[in-house]
Structure 1
C-alpha cells in the first residue's frame, strides 16, 4: 500500500484519450479471459470499522449490489467480490529471549495489525503460543464479505516482528536490506499456512490464495520512521519463502489455495521480479499480483506478455490515489484493461482520508465524512462488469467490454476524459447477433467532477441496426448494457 509520498496521478498529468473517428468497434474474436472480480484490502479500514454498529451496513454497501442507506443517503452497492485479509505482524509480549517489538515512532496504533503467533517456541496453532482472539474487527468484516459471496486472499505486509533482524515490523534500518532472518524463512511460511488452516477450520473461510509479500523490492520500508508494516525482500529470498510456503500449504491439505506473488509496487518492477524467480519458485506460483502505482506510466503490455508466457493469471491487487473525482481511477483502470489484461482489480482502502477513500474517513477515530465522487465512478465498472463475464477486445483505450454468455448481455463502459463534449459511437457489427435493432440500450452516467451526476440510469439510447451513440459531456463515464447479443 502507498506511503505518504504517493499523492501522484494528478488529473492534469493524465493524457486525454484520442478517439479514432469517435467509433468503437469491439472485437468478439479477441478475448482476455474470464473476469474474476473487484475487491478491496481490509487493512486498515476494517480494523477500525469491522466491529462497529455500521459493519453490516458497510458489508452490504461494498459486497452486494443492493441499494444501501449509508449516513442517510441511498447508495448503489458496489458488488465487490474479493477481499484481501492482512496477516498482522505486531504483538506486545516479550519473546523467549526477553526482547520486545521495536516500534516506529510514526506508526499509528490502528495500523499495527495484531499477530496471532506470539511465541516461536511452538509451531502448533492449538498451543498458548498462538492467540486466535485478536484482530476481531478485521476477521468480522472478512466473514461478512465471504457470507455475501466474496472470495478471499491472505496477504502479509511484514513477517511477525520476532522473525525480523531488527524486531521492527515497519522495515529494516536502511529500507533496502532483507529484514526477515534467514533462519525464519520457513517460520513466515508456517505462520501464513496456519492462518489459512485456522480460517478454513474455524472461520468458515477458505482462502483462494496466499501472498507472502507486499511491495517487497521497495526501499522505503524503513523501521525508524515507517508509518505502517512493511518489509523488503530480495528476489532470491522471495523464491526461498515461496518454496517453504508451498510445502506448508500442502502439508495441511490446502491444495486448492494457490500462491500469489509478489505484489510489486509497479508494473515494471513486477516484470523484473518475475524474470528473476528461480524455476522452482515460479512453478509454485499460481498467480502474479501487481500494484497499480505506476499510474499512467510503465509497460503494462510487457508485464502481460511475460505473465502469459509463464502461463500464470494476473491481478492488479492494489490501486489507490488522491483524486476524489474518480477521473484518475477511471483513466488508469482503462489502461489496465486495455494493456495489462488483468482479470481482477482491487482498490486499496475503500474508507480512507479525503481523496484516497471511496468514502472519506478517519480510521483513527472511526468516523466518516462523505462519499467521494470516485465511489460512483467505480460503480460504473463493478456493477456491470461482473465475475464470470468474458473480457473482449474493445479496440479503444477509453472503453472496456464484457460479455455474459448465459444472459447474452454485453456491457460497455466508456470514458471521455477530455475537456470538451464528445459524441461516441459504438458499432456491434462484428457480432453474430448485435442485439435487436430499435431495442433500448440501458445507460448509466457519472460525471467525474466534484458535485456532478453521481450514478443515474437513463432510458434514452436505442440500437439502430448494429450501432448506437451517446453524447459524453467532458470528464464523464457511461455504461451501456445491450441485450440479446450473440458472439
Structure 2
C-alpha cells in the first residue's frame, strides 16, 4: 500500500473513531402516539395587558423573525389560543356587588360579559360585549397569524353566581362556590360566549372548558390573588351535561367539551374515575395541567383517556425556571408517558422566570426572551400540526413524521456530560439518502447559544450522529424518509 493511501486510511479510521456515538437511539417507525394538533398559550393574563401588541403576536403566533427590544426572536408559531371567560364586573345588582379579595392582583381580574341575572338574552343590557377588548384582540391577532384552534375556558363563574360573590373562591377554599341554582347559568354563560364569537368575532371555539383546577383547595376568596373556584367532582358531573345541552341548543354541536383541567396528573386520574358515564360521555377531550412536574402517573391518565377514545392535552404548563431546564425535562416526560396531542404554555409574558418573555402585566413593561423561550422553540418550530408522533426510542428523544413531505423531525437533549448521540433510522423503509445533509438547530440550556442553525450533519447508511455538549437541546430534520 502506498504511503499516501495508508495516511488516508489512517485519517479515515481516526475520524470514524471520533464520531462513534456514546448513546444510540432507534426511532420507532411503527409507533403512533397520535396526530399532533399543536402548541399553544393561554391569553389570560398577559393578553389583557398587551393585547394590542403586534410584535408580541408575531413572536408567539408566527414563524417569522421579530425584533423585541433589539433582540431578534424566531417566532414560536403557536397555533392554539386559550381564551379566558372573565368572572368580574363592577356593576351593582339589587344592591349586591362583587367581593374582591384583599390580595387580588389587578391584572388578574378579567372582565366578564354577563353583568346580572336579569336576562339570559345576550342582546339585552344584562350583557356587555365591549369589555375585555385586549384579550379578544390578541386572539384575533393570533388568528391572523395562523392560529386555528381556540379554546374557551373559565377560571371562575361570574361573581354573582358564587355563594360569597367572590370570584377568587369560597371562604377557606375547600367548598364549592358555584351556587347550586346556577349550575345551568354557568353553562349558559359559556355557551353564549361561544355562540356570540361564531356570529360576531369571525371564528369558532373548538372546545369549551367550564373548570380550572376544580379539585384544588387553594381557591380562597379571603386570600386569593386571581380568579378561581373549587368544584367537587359531583358538581363537575352535574355542570357538564348542562354545558353540552346549552351548546347543542345554540347549534354548536361540533364544539367539544374539555375537562377537567386538574392541576396534576394524579388528580386528573381521580376525577376521570369519578365523573361517571353520563358526564364522561359528554366530554370530548381530557385536559390536564402539568404542575406535578417530574411526578405523577402520566401513563395511567393516558391509558384512561385512550381507553375511552378521548384525546388528551397538557392544557397548561408553567414554572419559574428561566433556563429551560425544567421545561424540557417535563416536556420529554409528557411525550414519553402522557402522549398529549397538544401542549399549552401558561403565561407567555410574565416576571420571575414564569414568562417565555420577561415582563410585568401590572406595570406594563416588556423585557427580554428567556433561554426557556429558545428551548421551547426547538419543539414548536419543528414539530408542527398534522405530524405523526413517533416513539423516540429513548427518554431523551422526541420524534415526529410529516408524511406529506416525507420529513422526519427529531428533538433530543443531553443533560449529562458531553457526548455524541447516534440516531438509528433502520426501522424506516427509507431512512433518508446516504450522504444527505441533515439540518440541525442547537440551543444551550441555561445560557449560551439561543437558537442556532447548522449545516454540518450527514446521513451515513441508516444513521447519523451529532456531538452534544452538556445541557444542549438539538433538533434535526431528515428529508426523504418513508415509513
Q: Which residue of 1 aligns with 2:128?
A: 131
2:438 to 436, 441, 446: 441
Equivalent-residue separation in structure 1 for 2:349 and 2:65 (angstroms): 18
C-alpha RMSD of matched pairs (Å): 0.9
Which secondary structure does the structure 2 equivalent of 1:348 belong to?
strand
1:195-234 equivalence runs, <5 A = 195-234=193-232
2:423 to 423, 426, 438: 426
Q: Which residue of 2 aligns with 1:11?
A: none
Deviations 1:414-453 (A, max 9, x none): 00112x2121100000000000000000000000012x10
Equivalent-residue separation in structure 1 for 2:424 and 2:268 (angstroms): 36
Quote the offset at 1:369 in angstroms.
Answer: 1.7
> Does the Cα contact within 8 Å between 1:331 and 1:417 map onto a contact in 2?
no
Equivalent-residue separation in structure 2 for 1:259 and 1:426 (angstroms): 40
With normalisation by structure 1, the TM-score equals 0.94
Q: Which residue of 1 aligns with 2:105?
A: 108
Equivalent-residue separation in structure 1 for 2:397 and 2:177 (angstroms): 43
Q: Which residue of 2 aligns with 1:14?
A: none
Residue 295 (str. 1) matches residue 296 (str. 2): no
Quote the offset at 1:354 in angstroms.
Answer: 2.8
Which secondary structure does the structure 2 equivalent of 1:441 belong to?
strand
Runs of 4+ in 1 over 6 A off after TM superposition: none
Pairs aligned (count): 462
Q: Which has the larger radius of gyration?
A: 2
1:13-162 equivalence runs, <5 A = 22-51=23-52, 55-96=53-94, 98-150=95-147, 151-162=149-160
Residue 344 (str. 1) matches residue 336 (str. 2): no
Deviations 1:193-236 (A, max 9, x none): 00001111001120000000000000000000101000000011
Q: Which residue of 2 aligns with 1:398?
A: 396
Quote the offset at 1:77 in angstroms.
Answer: 0.3
Quote the offset at 1:128 in angstroms.
Answer: 0.5
Q: Which residue of 2 aligns with 1:16?
A: none
Which secondary structure does the structure 1 equivalent of 2:55 belong to?
helix
Which secondary structure does the structure 2 equivalent of 1:369 belong to?
strand
Equivalent-residue separation in structure 2 for 1:323 and 1:209 (angstroms): 30
Quote the offset at 1:73 in angstroms.
Answer: 2.0
Equivalent-residue separation in structure 2 for 1:358 and 1:72 (angstroms): 16
Q: Which residue of 1 aligns with 2:14?
A: none
Q: Which residue of 2 aligns with 1:453?
A: 449
Equivalent-residue separation in structure 2 for 1:28 and 1:201 (angstroms): 44
Which secondary structure does the structure 1 equivalent of 2:314 belong to?
strand
2:468 to 469, 472, 484: 472
Unaligned runs of 5+ in 2: 1-20
Equivalent-residue separation in structure 1 for 2:108 and 2:144 (angstroms): 25
Quote the offset at 1:21 in angstroms.
Answer: 5.9
Deviations 1:329-373 (A, max 9, x none): 011000000000000000000100131111000110111121100
With normalisation by structure 2, the TM-score equals 0.95
